[in-house]
Structure 1
Amino acid sequence: MKITVVSGSTRENSNSEWLANRLIEGHEVDWLKLREYKIHPIVDQRHTPGGFTLVDDDYDTLIKQVVNSDLIVFATPLYWYGMSGLMKNFIDRWSQSLRDTTFDFRQAMEGKRCFLLIVGGNQVHLKALPLVQQFQLIFEFMKIDFKGYLIGQGSKPGEVKLDHRGLAELGVWREKFQLWADEN
């Protein structure tokens, strides 16, 4: 099973990346740390006759890696009750991929297994729910198999390691990841 983690954190050794590392431990994984790539914001050309113009950045390389994955983990800190700007920018560019005539992006993503991991500060289990719903709607639109989500609590570096609830849920999800890997 080819697993890719798409990290929207701006911080090296972030809480969300620490939790993602624990989640996928023991599996071969490709990491896409969005902060390490140049991804320009989308210029909305969905309704122009010629469609989107080519953009000179790293997006095409990243989306090809995502498309070639069996399971994608989206890991993001909770910023202002939503996904990080890096993650939002990456997903916004999906509109461009949907108009790409070189491949059928929606068909390529259909049935992909995706998992969401969110880490945030106080009351994160309540405050992250709108973000979970946003990803559910994105995945539904793309016909992606949304396997579930894990919410961790932590703001300061390393604080998520003290989140007993998140760590307990992590154990359950690790078992499920192993079952998915065994299916392939």
Structure 2
Amino acid sequence: MTTRSFLFLLAGARADGNTELLARTAAEQLPAGAGQRWLDLTRLHLPDFTDERHAADAPRAESADETLLREATLAATDIVIVSPLYWYSLSSYAKRYLDHWSRWLRTPDPGFRAAMAGGTLWGVTAMAHSEPEVAAPLTLTLHHTAAYLRMRFGGVLLGTASSPGQIRADTAALTRAKTFFATEAPLARFPYEEEA
């Protein structure tokens, strides 16, 4: 049995925000043998994504932080995007990180897609709304990203909170956090795909 290794990517504009608190509550429930690595996307220098697929020039060199993120991504069995709900979707930090997956599909390691297949993508978010459908764009972004790379999708752990520390009052979200990572995530599929 493969030991699971979780990469938690913090993508909130507020340090120790509600989304991070919810993610840390869920992570506390992981088995003792599961690896955990936490990286803060707001503290890493990740340039805006530039599409160089059809450029005549050689691709630009990868920065140290890009290499760190790419290698950490490939080393994880489970990737957890920890992003508050901003304008009904992911934060700019999380979106920029996922945009770089487009680069990593081609350079510097064209084996990125094959290496990601079979891994699991998760989301954790806090939002001001109590209606889960408000977070549908965020959930679809993560689901379809997982489907494109033939990953499993564990879903999104949603909590309701806005002011600092308010997530502690969302007892339903904290209860869900205790079992969030315990389930076997299904392989993500696009709605139009036929069952194999």
Shift of 1:130: 1.5
Q: Which residue of structure 2 aligns with residue 35 of structure 1?
A: 42
Q: Which residue of structure 2 aligns with residue 166 of structure 1?
A: 173
CA distance in 1, matches of 2:105, 2:167: 36
Percent identical residues: 25
Q: Which runs of 5+ in 2 are unaligned?
A: 185-196
Q: Which residue of structure 2 aligns with residue 25 of structure 1?
A: 28
CA distance in 2, matches of 1:165, 1:74: 20
Q: What TM-score comes out, normalization by structure 1 length?
A: 0.88
1:74 and 1:117 in contact (8 A); partners too: yes
Shift of 1:49: 4.1
Question: Which residue type is aligned with residue 37 of structure 2?
Answer: D
CA distance in 1, matches of 2:58, 2:96: 19
Question: Which residue type is aligned with residue 63 of structure 1?
Answer: R
Q: What is the aligned length? A: 177
CA distance in 1, matches of 2:149, 2:112: 9
- For 1:134-149, what aligned pairs fall within 5 Å after superposition? 134-149=141-156
CA distance in 2, matches of 1:128, 1:140: 18
Bigger mean CA offset, 123-132 vs 5-14:
123-132
Shift of 1:123: 3.4
CA distance in 2, matches of 1:89, 1:18: 22
Q: String of CA shifts for 1:33-67, please: whole Å, max 9, x gaps.
A: 10111100011212224563224351121111111
Q: Which runs of 5+ in 1 are unaligned?
A: 178-184
2:25 and 2:174 in contact (8 A); partners too: no
Q: Which residue of structure 1 aligns with residue 81 of structure 2?
A: 74
Question: Which residue type is aligned with residue 167 of structure 2?
Answer: V
Give the root-mean-square deviation of aligned CA atoms.
Answer: 1.8
- For 1:74-153, what aligned pairs fall within 5 Å after superposition? 74-153=81-160
Q: Which residue of structure 2 aligns with residue 155 of structure 1?
A: 162
Q: Which residue of structure 1 aligns with residue 14 of structure 2?
A: 11
Runs of 4+ deviating beyond 6 Å: none
Q: String of CA shifts for 1:65-122, please: whole Å, max 9, x gaps.
A: 1110111111100001110000011111111101114341101111111211111112
Query: Which is richer in helix?
Result: 1
Question: Which residue type is aligned with residue 103 of structure 2?
Answer: Q
1:40 and 1:57 in contact (8 A); partners too: no
Change (3 A) 1:124 1:157: farther
Question: Does the alignment pair 1:54 with 2:61?
Answer: yes
